[in-house]
Amino acid sequence: MKKQQKNAHSFCRPEEQLEKICLNAVDVVSEKELLEKLKNSFKKKKPLRIKAGFDPSRPDLHLGHVVVLNKLKTFQDLGHHVVFLIGDFTAQIGDPSGLDKTRPILSKEEVKENAKTYSRQVFKILDKNKTEVCFNSSWMNKLSSVDLIHLASQYTVARMLERDDFSKRFKKNQAICLHEFLYPLVQGYDSVVLEADVEIGATDQLFNLLVGRELQKRKGQEPQCVLTFPLLEGLDGVRKMSKSYDNYIAIEDPPREIFGRTMKLNDELMVRYYELLMDKTKAEITQLKEGLKSGKKHPMKLKMDLAYFLVKSFHGSVVAEKEKENFENVFSKQKIPSDIPEFSVSPEKDFWICHLIFKVGFAPSTSEARRLIQGGAVEINGEKVTDSKLKINLKVGDEFILKAGKRRFAKVKVGS
Amino acid sequence: MKKQQKNAHSFCRPEEQLEKICLNAVDVVSEKELLEKLKNSFKKKKPLRIKAGFDPSRPDLHLGHVVVLNKLKTFQDLGHHVVFLIGDFTAQIGDPSGLDKTRPILSKEEVKENAKTYSRQVFKILDKNKTEVCFNSSWMNKLSSVDLIHLASQYTVARMLERDDFSKRFKKNQAICLHEFLYPLVQGYDSVVLEADVEIGATDQLFNLLVGRELQKRKGQEPQCVLTFPLLEGLDGVRKMSKSYDNYIAIEDPPREIFGRTMKLNDELMVRYYELLMDKTKAEITQLKEGLKSGKKHPMKLKMDLAYFLVKSFHGSVVAEKEKENFENVFSKQKIPSDIPEFSVSPEKDFWICHLIFKVGFAPSTSEARRLIQGGAVEINGEKVTDSKLKINLKVGDEFILKAGKRRFAKVKVGS
């Protein structure tokens, strides 16, 4: 891998850079080394090589990924060079033991396809000219079994078992297949090949990133600094954002969906998203929290700003403006009473609208409900329902406003 | 790998074969399966493929290896096909972590050279025409890192840690490098490639042989039967025979050395060697023990027979006859009194003969000892000592008869 020699390099002081880089970081290994690297880079006007690896086993990137992508952008803005690594080697292998159901085995074509959508998505955030996109298959496929055995010899079983998830599974007598011990080594070896100065990732990647440090040291390279950032909570506010939990906003989601789902966040989560996605300083976040507490800041207004920001980031300001307007038309201008009753339903596919109207109590029977629709008296989220045969997908976490006639409102919430 | 279809095949009944094969075995996994295989082979007149792997990291094979080689010969005599596998792949890699001092990394040339001497040595015992010599590098070098990862996925960390030595090291917090977990898999994979019906080895190989069974099952092959045989005790009677402990008799040792070292065995060890090296039945061994106990059999005579047998095996009967004669001349005909005193000394390099004579008490000073030698009055093992400056290497386990004048004898033993 060639090191970039003389890129456009900002002249922000190393200490200042450090502060921006470490904002929101959970682990920094180590701050001292990182400052040293930044100073050196500053002195020599030589950008650092910042590595971040992405698993291409799913085509969509979501807000969870944006946390790390934003940080990469920070590095770029400070003049550094970003290596966007697509871990297609392991994705191609998948989990051959068949134990890990969440990691599908992908064909070369699928990986290529996902990688293509990745580029499209990440360059909504990253600067294309300051980004090197790599596939680790390009060196890993050339690695012989002898090379892999050599790699394996550089790490002990005991150290590998220190990884939090391995340790837990081992204690619970849950199977750990041997190849799972090889994957962190592959990831670490990527850092050796790429001669990374810094690697960043989510907190659950800390162990793997540190393996990279070890392998670099053994190869006589200056070990990479490692920074981890929080896993963004998903829309449920509980689990990490993940496609498997269906609690995510994807970068490529339609703008209306991004806007709508953001508006549904609870206040606490909204602050969290401000913190991790809008790259606010600590002072700004403190101010925000205080404003919310004192009532100086209105949560609805803040949510609108966040939703606007996100749609703008992924779809541009024209679209963002349009979505904001739409939202205001549908919701704000509807004059929905602030104390409308909430109604919980269980998730269900193809739930008949008339049955819902009946259940909520807006009609004494489904045939009465049909008549209401035919009379044009029913709205969902401000849009008139015209088809009395309409089936709705009730998905966990969904919320919408059901209106019948002029005065009857209900907030329908789909529980689990 | 081609399976031999119609070899010369003996017509010994399967039950009879089983008895011969299992003689002296420590583990048989499983006898039932093995009998089934033997019956099948008998019915179809199709020899079984018997695999045994040898580590070519040292050029010499010794009596410890002969235990397994003899068993391979038994299989051949029963009409089966022997696959003599030289594990050059792992020998070429060695222990890249540098932790295992006993497994040197060998160059391709050294491995080739050792393999050549191996063939020369094993065909003193095995029938060349019924033996297939293989090198596992020929398939392992072609294995990609992806293939190796797939292989690794077929075994769990917990099961690997069940291996006795791993489990002990793990409990003692001694480092186990990851590549050590891969070696048993490589060995097991050899069985898959070779489509082995049976694999035999020393007891310390049991775990590795069972890995082969597992991998074969996963590949849809009929799993190999596994037999292990005792580790032969070395000349010290305590540790296993090994070049590292310098307690061995090598197949290619000079005949005089083989004869001499055998004659020095204690009675118990001599019986053990009869059992494991001369392929005696249980009944014969019981008879031998009883004969020794009752005084009907003379240990010296039995040792001579063993020494003769070993020299004959490795150097032919003409040489064996000559060595027997020589031994009788030097020792038996010397009329050494049966009750000569024993004298223990510590091991030491370049120990001056005159100092030894003085220590044993045959001379009041070293200058007196020198005079004895100059007068031609000193013998070691019946050979006159002519050089009064002679330095002797006193190695642990060595024994020799020192004689001064006509009547003074001492058996000098080198202790540890």
Residues of chain A contacting B144 with CB distance shorter than 8 Å: 141, 143-145
Is B124 a residue whose pLDDT tops 80? yes
Beta B131-135 vs B198-202: how paired, if at all?
Answer: unpaired
- Residue A152 with chain B: CB contacts under 8 Å: 177-179, 181-182
pLDDT at B5: 42
Q: Is A176's Cβ below 8 Å from some Cβ in B?
A: yes
* Encoded tokens for B355: 């100092």
Structure confidence by residue, pLDDT tens digits, B53-110: 988 877 788 999 999 999 999 999 999 999 999 988 888 777 666 666 556 667 778 8
Confidence of residue B280 (pLDDT cuts 50, 70, 90): confident
pLDDT over 70 at A95, yes or no: no
Residue B398 has pLDDT above 50, yes or no: yes
- CB of A147 within 8 Å of a chain B CB? The answer is yes
Which residues of chain B lie closer than 8 angstroms to A138, CB-CB?
Answer: none
B153 with A181: Cβ contact below 8 A = no
Question: How far does the CA of residue A1 sit from the closest CA of chain B (Å)?
Answer: 21
Tell me the average pLDDT across A174-180. Answer: 88
Chain A closest CA to B95's CA: distance in Å? 8
pLDDT of residue B101: 58
Cβ contact B185–A178 (<8 Å):
yes
Nearest CA in chain A to B171: A158
Per-residue pLDDT, B35: 96
Greatest mean pLDDT range, A258-272, B47-61, B188-202: B188-202
pLDDT surpasses 70 at A18:
yes
Above 50 in pLDDT, residue B8?
no
Does residue A1 register a pLDDT over 50?
Answer: no
Give chain B positions within 8 Å (CB) of A97.
153-154
The C-alpha of A22 sits at a distance from chain B's nearest C-alpha, in angstroms, of 34
**pLDDT attached to residue A16:** 92
- Is the pLDDT at A182 greater than 70? The verdict is yes
Smallest CA–CA distance, residue B317 to chain A, in Å, is 46
How many Å lie between the alpha carbon of B52 and the closest alpha carbon of chain A?
23
> Is it the case that residue B2 has pLDDT exceeding 50?
no
Predicted pLDDT of residue B333: 61
Please, which pLDDT band fits residue A401 given cuts at 50, 70 and 90? Answer: confident
Percentage of the residues of chain B whose pLDDT score is greater than 70: 92
Contact across the interface for B148 and A150, Cβ inside 8 Å: no
Task: Identify the weakest region by mean pLDDT among B35-49, B271-285, B396-410.
Answer: B396-410
Q: Distance from A214 to chain B by nearest Cα, in Å?
A: 14
Band (pLDDT 50/70/90 cuts) for residue A325 is: confident
The arithmetic mean of pLDDT across residues A5-34, rounded, is: 83
Give chain A positions within 8 Å (CB) of B155: 177-178
Coil, strand or helix at B12: coil
B108 shares contact with chain A (CB less than 8 Å) = no
Residue B353 has pLDDT above 90, yes or no: yes
Tokens of A149: 């055995």
Is the pLDDT at A335 greater than 70? The verdict is no
**Nearest residue in B to A156, CA atom:** B177
User: Would an 8 Å CB–CB cutoff place B396 in contact with chain A?
Assistant: no
Percentage of chain A beyond pLDDT 70 is: 92
pLDDT at A100: 62
Reported confidence tier of residue A338, pLDDT bands at 50, 70, 90: low
Q: List the one residue out of A219, A216, A218 whose CA is nearest residue A197.
A: A216
Residue listed under structure tokens 């009675």: B267
CB contact under 8 A, A93 and B150: yes
Q: Is B129 on the interface with A (CB under 8 A)?
A: no
Q: Which residues of A touch B143 (CB under 8 A)?
A: 144-145
| Average pLDDT over every residue of A347-373 | 91
Residue B334, pLDDT above cutoff 80: no
**Which residues in chain A have their CB less than 8 angstroms from residue B146's CB?**
92-93, 141
Whether residue B409 is predicted with pLDDT greater than 90 in this model: the reply is: no
ipTM of the complex: 0.72
- pLDDT of B341 reads 82
Residue B355: per-residue pLDDT? 92
Residues of A in contact with B141 (CB under 8 A): 144-146
Please indicate whether, in this complex, the C-beta atoms of B158 and A152 are within 8 angstroms of each other.
no
Nearest CA in chain B to A98: B153
Determine contact: B153 vs chain A, CB below 8 A.
yes
Between B341 and A39, the higher pLDDT residue: A39
* Closest chain B residue to A185, measured at CA: B178
Of B141, B157, B178, the CB nearest to A153: B178
Q: What is the mean pLDDT of chain A?
A: 87
Q: B170 at the A interface (CB within 8 A)?
A: yes
The reported pLDDT for the residue numbered B33 is 95
Q: How confident is the model at residue B307 (pLDDT cuts 50, 70, 90)?
A: very high
Question: A95 contacts in B (CB within 8 Å)?
Answer: 153
Rounded to whole angstroms, the Cα distance separating A274 from A42 reads 30
Joined together, the tokens standing for residue B171 give 């409990």
pLDDT score recorded for residue A101: 58
Per-residue pLDDT at A80 exceeds 90 = yes
pLDDT at A41 over 90: yes
Cross-chain Cβ contact A158/B179 below 8 Å: no
Task: Test B182 with A149 for CB contact under 8 angstroms.
Answer: yes
| Residue B256 identity (one-letter amino acid) | R
pLDDT in tens, B140-152: 989 988 889 989 9
State the pLDDT confidence band at B10, using cuts at 50, 70 and 90.
Answer: low
Per-residue burial over A109-144, b = 16 or more CB atoms within 10 Å of its CB, e = otherwise: ebbeebbebbeebbeebbeeebbbbbbbbebbeebe
Nearest by CB to residue A178, choosing from B96, B160, B170, is B160
**A-chain residues near B153 (CB < 8 A):** 95-97, 177-179
B158 near A CB under 8 A:
yes
| Residue numbers in B near A147 (CB within 8 A) | 145
pTM: 0.73
Facing residue for A155 by CB, picked from B141, B153, B178: B178
Grade residue A111 by pLDDT with cuts at 50, 70 and 90: confident
